[in-house]
Amino acid sequence: MAGGTCRKGSGRAEMRVVLDGRIVIPRMTGAGRYVVELAQRLPSLGEDVVVEVLLLAAMRATAIPRMLSDSGVRVHYVDVRVASLLQWLVIPRVLQRLKPDLYHYPFLNLPFVGVPSVVTIYDLNPILHAEYFAVFAGPKRALTRRLMGSTLRRCRTALAISHATRKL
């Protein structure tokens, strides 16, 4: 696989994929289910695919880490929320340490990570609906629109899981 690292002694390229699962919460949502299902299925693509998932530390007490580990996924805990300002500092450092060939981010505001990235855009509610933000809705929607534009320019691929989102 292009860009992969060679596994010791195998002579085969290993593709390291990091899925950002910080969107997964104990009360499973559609977006969380998407990340968990993707993480569980990716290792079946071949033994040369190494899948690692970032979860919030609060997820340790749930069945999710065990489900992922049972599927051959490595779990790492990062205690910084998706879409937070702090993630712009923390996530690039985490990825420097993990050295993935590909990073999957599940939201509109991809941090500057220096790694080929795929983003999944579930919906455009933060941009389309003023009521999405309770306070400072106008400036927050404008910032979100700019961040999403930056995300789309920097990622290798953007996945839209709804036809309505894809059309926009």
Half-sphere exposure of 121 (CA within 13 A, CB side): 26
From the number of C-beta atoms within 10 Å of its C-beta (0-12, 13-18, 19+), residue 66 rates as exposed
> pLDDT of 69-109, one tens digit each?
999 999 999 999 998 999 999 999 999 999 999 999 998 89
106-115 mean pLDDT: 92
> pLDDT of 132-150, one tens digit each?
778 888 888 888 889 888 9
- The per-residue pLDDT of the chain, averaged, comes to 88
pLDDT at residue number 7 = 47
pLDDT at residue number 2 = 46
**Tokens 């695919």, residue?**
49
3-state secondary structure of 69: helix
22-43 mean pLDDT: 92
User: How far apart are the C-alpha atoms of 39 and 51, rounded to whole Å?
Assistant: 7
Neighbours of 65 (CB within 10 A): 18
